[in-house]
Amino acid sequence: MLGRINHIALAVPDIATASRAYHETLGAVVSAPQALPEHGVTVVFVELPNSKVELLEPLGDASPIAAFLAKNPDGGMHHICYEVADILAARNHLVATGARVLGNGEPKIGAHGKPVLFLHPKDFFGTLIELEQV
């Protein structure tokens, strides 16, 4: 079911500072910030030869990233995103095996304009997993 790693997401308290560190210090290609109000975040993608790193900053106090940063004020790994060929088939298989899909179970459109779902971290050893249809 799982394809390649699409990205690893890092919650950061200041996306401009984090972007500069990746660009100026590490020499990476960094995208422009993109606000995603439906997800409560602003994102930046760090392009790598084999994957991406997604930098996440809260977009408002109700953002799920705000709660994460309250517990981890310096930031940290938030989730890992795997690609899947068919997100509905993946969801149905996961639910049938007892995994919990967050939200209402219906895919939302993610930062890449593709359907995404999140899986409960308690079902995957403390790691929040995002699935993205490719």
Distance separating alpha carbons of residues 15 and 79, to the nearest angstrom: 17
Provide CB contacts within 8 A for 118, sequence distance 6+.
79, 101, 102, 103, 128, 129, 130, 131
Q: Is 130 a catalytic residue?
A: yes
Catalytic-role residue among 24, 54, 106, 130: 130
Tokens matching residue 58: 């809260």
CA-based angle 107:4:12, to the nearest 5?
A: 70
Under 8 Å between Cβ of 25 and 18: no
Provide CB contacts within 8 A for 89, sequence distance 6+.
1
* Active centre residues (catalytic): 130
